[in-house]
Amino acid sequence: DTGFKQEVPEVQNTFLEDPVMVSVLKRYLPGDVLSEISPDLVQICEWANSEGVALTTRMEEDQPRLRQYDSWCRRVDELLVTEAWTKQKEIAAREGVVAIAYERKYGQFSRIYQMAKLMLWTSGAGLYSCPIAMTDGCARVIELSGTQQMKDEVFSRLTSRDPQEFITSGQWMTERPGGSDVGRTETQAVWNQELKAWSISGFKWFSSATDADVTMLLARTHDPDPSAAAGSMREGSKGLSLYLARVRDDKGNLNGVRIHRLKDKVGTKALPTAELELDGMVAQQVGASYRGVKNISAILNITRVYCGMGCTAAMQRFVLSVKEYARRREVFGALLKDQPLHLATVANMELQYRATSQFTFYCVAILGRIEALDNNLPEIKDRDIPLLRLLTPILKVWCAKNAFAMSQEAMECFGGQGYMEETGLGRAMRDVLVNTIWEGTTNVLSLDVLRVMAETGGDALELYCETIQAIMAPLRDQPRWSKAAKGVEESLHLISKHFTTYATLETRNLLEAS
């Protein structure tokens, strides 16, 4: 076969070859911090392009399986994951992908360093980013609400760099009656005086980190007060508490868990998502009773930022690979990069990616400040905390919707090759799509934004508008931009007024309805 062979597009180093990421990091990091961490960012890209690619390919080829019975018909529920999946855990520990955020070597900048590294790491880690997100969220909950024993025995291991010590966590919320509406949770927790622990039974409909070492889960609490009526429980989400449990004991036996089956999913095939039956899972309560949703929201707020980061990473790869192809593919006598209409398409993708990475790292920077600085400082208490609470659901929705739309555009930019499984674009499209659903769907997170506005009486939105105005301020005096800057300011003011009124009315309606 001597005919034409297309030169293969190859992205070498997603840090060095991406001016967007470098400029975002320059904006948020002091020069000395950026210089110090840069070699680590370069090396993680090199790893992602070599061992990482081999591992993710293996993870896709050899998907998780469940061996439910042994040859003597005994229930064993053995989850079989590929060696490549297990290797990812070792690498995640060694690379400190969770640890960096909690060591806080660079104070408020540690989260930016961690998220930048995660973004580059995900192209070689694939769906292993999912258990890592939950592990990070679990560490944050224990840091905020855990007992000293949980900090010593669990937190220290979730944030360890030692592969022998490092453990991961799951997040079990969703049940058959409700994933968005967790107030319909059926799982129950009963105090076991003998074990001095809670015994949890029920059915968890989705568990993605099924091979995790520990898990955070919600359950409906039986009132442990001996004078309370037997089995008395509170209804709705106000009856739920948060629990921490080991998934397996020292011998590897499941802790009151039966793996009902593995899910047959549209994408995220490398991830062992399962349905779980719980029967007497031994657990400890985390934080106050009946505050389960509030306490677990610390995980949600971390994993939603991870969704933003994961989608930004996907967009980065779409843009870099489309640009690479445009430099190599010739059509109608010119390279794609020199065809004006194609260039316009790619420019639009790049714009989306730039906006998304700015938005993501803006939120990450606030998260870093909240975690590393004194929360009693007025700029943290009155500004950063409400602002991040407002922006996190918006970030998650924005990134998920745009990353999926961009996956379609990227596929089209590769023509027929884009539609071929071998190029990996189909897989990327299926994988990125899940971000619109897990960790809260678009409408549920839209309602969450209204919840924040109602809770803060519109202050959070006002803060956001002020922030945008501050960003626009330097443009006001520039003739080319002054009209646009003024327009944005006026619109923001209107939006703020409109939504605050809407949120207030909505809250009043809800209160009246209940």
Residues in 264-283 at the binding interface with ligand FAD, rule: CB under 6 A: 265, 268, 273
Which of 112/200 has CB closer to ligand FAD? 200
Is residue 507 a contact residue for ligand FAD (CB under 6 A)?
no
Is residue 360 a contact residue for ligand FAD (CB under 6 A)?
no
Which of 183/224 has CB closer to ligand FAD? 183
d(CA 322, CA 178): 39
Which of 136/324 has CB closer to ligand MFK? 136
Render 98-117 in DSSP notation, one character per residue: THHHHH-TTGGGHHHHHHHH
Smallest gap from residue 514 Cβ to ligand MFK (A): 11
Smallest gap from residue 305 Cβ to ligand FAD (A): 16
Which of 146/310 has CB closer to ligand MFK? 310
Cα–Cα distances (Å) from 346 to 18, 95, 253, 352, 364, in that order, read: 15, 33, 52, 10, 27
Name the packing angle between helices 129-145 and 292-326 (round to 10°). Answer: 150
d(CA 242, CA 125): 29
List the one residue from 91, 167, 217, 307 that touches ligand MFK (CB under 6 A): 307
Smallest gap from residue 413 Cβ to ligand FAD (A): 27
Candidate ranges 18-26, 63-71, 297-305, 489-497; the one touching ligand MFK (CB under 6 A): 297-305
Report residue 355 CA to chain centroid gap.
18
Give, as one character, the DSSP assignment of residue 234: -
List Cβ neighbours of 196 (8 Å cut-off, separation of 6 or more): none
Is residue 185 a contact residue for ligand FAD (CB under 6 A)?
no
Site size with ligand MFK, rule: CB under 6 A? 28
Q: Which does 183 bind (CB under 5 to 8 A by kind): ligand FAD, ligand MFK, none?
A: ligand MFK
Candidate ranges 103-111, 276-284, 303-311, 321-329; the one touching ligand MFK (CB under 6 A): 303-311
Which of 68/441 has CB closer to ligand FAD? 441
d(CA 295, CA 140): 10
Is residue 436 a contact residue for ligand MFK (CB under 6 A)?
no
Comparing C-alpha atoms, which of 378, 420, 425 is closest to residue 404?
425
Is residue 224 a contact residue for ligand FAD (CB under 6 A)?
no
Find the DSSP H helices in 207-339.
292-326
d(CA 210, CA 275): 9
Residues in 202-221 at the binding interface with ligand FAD, rule: CB under 6 A: 206-208
Q: Which does 207 bind (CB under 5 to 8 A by kind): ligand FAD, ligand MFK, none?
A: ligand FAD
Cα–Cα distances (Å) from 462 to 2, 358, 453, in that order, read: 65, 20, 10
Give 66: exposed, middle or buried? Use CB within 10 Å, 0-12, 13-18, 19+: middle
Render 3-21 in DSSP notation, one character per residue: S--PPPP----TTTT-HHH
508, containing H or E segment? helix 479-513
d(CA 252, CA 471): 54
d(CA 161, CA 166): 7
Smallest gap from residue 7 Cβ to ligand MFK (A): 32
Residues in 121-180 at the binding interface with ligand FAD, rule: CB under 6 A: 171-174, 178-180
Which of 53/437 has CB closer to ligand FAD? 437
Q: Which does 307 bind (CB under 5 to 8 A by kind): ligand MFK, ligand FAD, none?
A: ligand MFK
Parallel, antiparallel, or unpaired: how do β-strands 169-172 and 214-221 relate?
Answer: parallel
Residues in 425-484 at the binding interface with ligand FAD, rule: CB under 6 A: 434, 437-438, 440-441, 443-444, 447
List the one residue from 88, 187, 221, 297 that touches ligand MFK (CB under 6 A): 297
Q: How many residues does the chain have?
A: 514
Smallest gap from residue 233 Cβ to ligand MFK (A): 15
Binding site for ligand MFK (CB under 6 A): 129-130, 133, 171, 173-174, 179-180, 182-183, 208, 237, 293-294, 297, 300-301, 303, 306-307, 310, 438-440, 444, 448, 451, 455
